[in-house]
A and B are shown apart, each in its own frame.
With several copies, the nearest count.
Chain A
Amino acid sequence: MSYTPTEMMVVAAARNLAGVRNCFVGIGIPNLACSLAKRSVAPDLELIYESGVVGADPARLPLSIGDPSLVVGARSVTSMFDLFSLYLQRGLIDVAFLGAAQVDRNGSINTTVLGPYEKPDVRLPGSGGAVEIALNADQVFIIVNQSRRTFVEKLDFVTSPGHIGPTTGRGNGPALVVTQLGTFRFVNGEMTLKSLHPGVSREQVFDATGWEMSVDTAVEENEAPTSDELDVLRNLDPNRVYLK
C-alpha cells in the first residue's frame, strides 16, 4: 500500500507509544498518532488535553484542542488550573507531544517569533502550554517537518527548553523527534539520528539539518506503515484534514 510522508510520521510516532499510559495530546498529527497507538500498541493509553479533558474517546476527528467531541464520554473534564497543576506539574504525564517552528540540537523549541522578538519578521503563536509541558512531562516527543529552516543551529527564540542542564521542571526533556525523514533520540542531550523511514538516505537527513547531525551506532530502517495501520488512520481522518 502506498502512503504519504505524513502517514509515515504518524505511524512512527504511534509505534513509539508502545506501553505508554498517560499522554498529553496536541491536535492534528499527535492526536492521530495517539488514536492509532490506542488502537494498536497502547490500548491503555489515556488521551489528556491541555483544555482539561482526561481520558477522551472522541467520536469524530477533533478539529481543536477543546473540541466538544473530546468532552462527551470523557473520563473527567477539569479546569485548566487542575490540568496543569494536578496532572502535568504533579508528574502524571508520561509522554507529551510538541510541535516546533524551529528546533535545535538539544531539542529546544521555538514557537514564538522568527526574527527579533520586539520586531519580528513572523509572529508565531507563542508558548501556549509548551514551556511547562517541555519541563514537566516525563518524556517529550517532538513532531516537526525537517528542513534547514526548522532544524537550525541557533533558535531565534527559545520558547521551550530541551536538554540544557538542570531546570525547575520535573521531566526528562525531549526523548524523541519524529520527522518526515526519520526519528531521532537524544544522547547526552544531543539529537542523534536513530532510524530512517523507508527510502530515505542519511544524506537527505544531513541536507535537511542546520548543524552536523550525530548518528547512532546502529541506524535502523523503519518498517513502512502496515495496511492495518493505514486503515485505522484513514478512518480517523477520512477527509485527510491532517493526513495531507
Chain B
Amino acid sequence: MREAIDSLVPDGSVVSIEGFTHLICFAAGHELIRQRKKDLTLCRLTPDVIADQLAAAGVISGLVFSWLGNPGVGSLHAVRRRIEGSDPRPLHLEEYSHFGMVARYTAGASGLPFFPLRSYAGSDLPAVNPKIVTIQDPYGGQPVYAVPPLNPDVSIVHVQRASAGGDAQIWGIPGCQKESAFAAGRVIVVCEEIVSDEVIRSDPNRTLIPGTIVDAVVEAPGGCHPSYAQGFYDRDNPFYLEWDAISRDTGRLDEWLEEWVYSLDDHAAYREKLGSERWSALSPGDAPSGQVNYGDYS
C-alpha cells in the first residue's frame, strides 16, 4: 500500500475512492493521510467519514460528489467547518446527484464526451454547477440533461478478492466500482484477499475489473473498516456514532488522527489495534452462494 499510494498518487491528483456504503477503502484513505498527501480532489458519490478524515488532515482541497454526511448519524463536522467557515481552509465543491455522478463515471469509462439523463429539471443544481447542461433530443423530443465524463487520475477500488494480476471480483453491492475503475487513468485494487488465478477464472462473470487496467494490487484485510465487506465483516456502527463526537471537536479529531493513523505504520497495525474482540463482533455467519456449472467443454 505504501508503495502504491506513494508512486501512483502524486500531490494534486484527482482521486476517486468509491464504494456505496460497501467496500469503502479506509485503508487507502489512511495511507493518503499518513503520507501527508496534499491538494487532492476526492471524487466520491458519498463523502462520509473517510472524507471527514481526509478533510481534517488537510489532504483534500476539493470534492466532486452527490451526498455528504455521516450516513445514519448526521453531519461531517470537519467537512462542514471547511465549507461553512473556510476553517482552516476552504473546500472546493463540485456537486451532482447520485445518478449524475454515476453517469459521469460511465461517460468517462465509455469514452463518451457526455452522458444524457432525465434529471435536474427544476433543480437549482445546474445553476451552481455549470457542467450540468441541457442537451437536445436529436429525434425532436423534450431536451434532457447531460453531464461530462469524469476521468480521475487514479481510482482506488476495494474488492473482496483479486488475483495477483489484478482481476477483481465483487459480490454484494457493486456501487460504481467498475465504472470508476474503467474511467481512471490509473487503478489501485485493494482486496480482502489475494486469490489464485484459478479461483478467479472458475467464475469469470464475477470479475468486474480486469487486471488489464490495474496498476497495483494491495492485500489489506479489514481495509474497509468501519464500513464493511459483504461476507467478510459487518459495518461497525458504533464507530460511526463515535465519530460524530470526535469530529465535532478539532482537538479530539487531531488526537484520533495521531493515534489511529500517523502513529501507526500501516493498516495491519490499525487492524491489530482494533483488537480481535471487535473484529469477531463484526464477523457474519455463513450464507453461501451455491455453485453454478460453467461446463467442461475441452
Direct contact of A and B (CB under 8 A): yes
Cross-chain contact A136 with B69 (CB below 8 angstroms): no
Tell me whether A187 is interfacial, beta carbon within 8 Å: no
**Does B122 lie within 8 Å of A52, measured CB to CB?**
no
Please name all residues of chain A whose beta carbon is closer than 8 Å to the beta carbon of B201 when the two chains form the complex.
Answer: 57, 73-75
Complex interface: chain A residues within 8 A of B128 (CB): 117-118
Within 8 A of A (CB), among B82-103: 83-84, 95-100, 102-103
Interface string of B272-298 (1 = CB under 8 A from A): 000000000000100100000011111
* The one of B46, B109, B176 that contacts A90, using a Cβ cutoff of 8 Å: B109
Chain A proximity mask over B230-257: 1 for CB below 8 Å, otherwise 0: 1000110100000000000000000000
Within the complex, what minimum Cβ distance (angstroms) separates A101 from chain B?
12
Contact indicator A121/B84 (Cβ below 8 Å): yes
State the CA gap A129–B123 with chains docked (Å): 12
> Which one of B1-9, B26-34, B203-211, B260-268 is at the A interface?
B203-211
Given contacts A84-B99, A168-B144, A169-B118, contact A75 B210 (CB under 8 A): yes
Which one of B36-44, B166-174, B186-194 is at the A interface? B166-174
Known: A55-B210, A86-B109. A125 touches B68 (CB 8 A): yes
B123–A158 contact, CB under 8 A?
yes
Instruction: Give the residues in chain B near A79, CB-CB below 8 Å.
Output: 174-176, 178-179
- B205/A77 in contact, CB under 8 A: yes
CA distance A135 to B121 in the complex (A): 8
Q: Is the CB of A122 within 8 A of B20?
A: no
Contact of A91 among B66, B111, B144, B230 (CB under 8 A): B111
How far apart are A18's CB and chain B's nearest CB, in angstroms? 19
Q: Enumerate A209-243 residues with CB–CB distance to B below 8 Å.
A: none
Closest residue of chain A to B205 (Cβ to Cβ) is A77
Does residue B35 face the partner (Cβ distance < 8 Å to A)? Answer: no
Task: Please tell me if the beta carbons of A27 and B72 are within 8 angstroms of each other in the complex.
Answer: yes
* Contact residues on A (Cβ < 8 Å of other chain), bracket: 35 or more
- CB proximity of A113 to chain B, nearest CB, Å: 9
A143 to B167, CA, bound (A): 31
Asked if A136 contacts B67 (CB within 8 A), the reply is no
Q: A119-B84, A132-B119 are in contact. Are A71 and B230 (CB under 8 A)?
A: yes
Asked whether, in the complex, the Cβ of A167 is within 8 Å of the Cβ of B204, the reply is no
| B296:A72 contact, CB within 8 angstroms | yes
Q: A126 contacts B207, CB within 8 Å?
A: no
Contact of B111 among A130, A136, A165 (CB under 8 A): A136
Contact pick for A126, options B95, B176, B213, CB 8 Å: B95
How many B residues have CB within 8 A of the partner chain? 77
Are B204's CB and A77's CB within 8 A? yes
Q: Within A93-129, which residues are at the interface with B (CB < 8 Å)?
A: 108, 112, 117-123, 125-129
Known: A52-B20, A52-B175, A59-B297. A81 touches B106 (CB 8 A): yes
Alpha-carbon distance between A22 and B207 when the two chains are bound, in angstroms: 17
Whole-angstrom distance from the CB of A65 to the nearest CB of chain B? Answer: 6
Contacts of B72 in A (CB 8 A): 27-28, 63-64
- Which of B95, B122, B176, B234 interacts with A68 by CB under 8 Å? B234
Q: Are A123 and B80 in contact (CB under 8 A)?
A: yes
Contacts of A88 in B (CB 8 A): 99
Q: Does A21 contact B (CB under 8 A)?
A: yes
* Docked complex: A41-97 residues within 8 A CB-CB of B: 46, 50-55, 57, 59-60, 63-69, 71-82, 84-86, 88-92
Given contacts A77-B171, A77-B172, A112-B125, 7 further A-B contacts (CB under 8 A): A64-B71, A66-B20, A71-B172, A71-B173, A73-B204, A129-B98, A131-B120
Spell out B's residues near A (CB within 8 Å).
20-22, 45-46, 65-69, 71-72, 75, 79-80, 83-84, 95-100, 102-103, 106, 109-112, 117-125, 128, 142-145, 167, 171-176, 178-179, 182, 200-202, 204-205, 207-208, 210-213, 228, 230, 234-235, 237, 284, 287, 294-298
Can you list 21 A-B contacts (CB < 8 A)? A51-B22, A54-B207, A63-B235, A66-B20, A67-B235, A67-B297, A68-B22, A72-B294, A74-B201, A75-B212, A76-B208, A77-B171, A77-B204, A80-B175, A85-B106, A91-B111, A122-B84, A123-B84, A126-B65, A127-B97, A168-B143
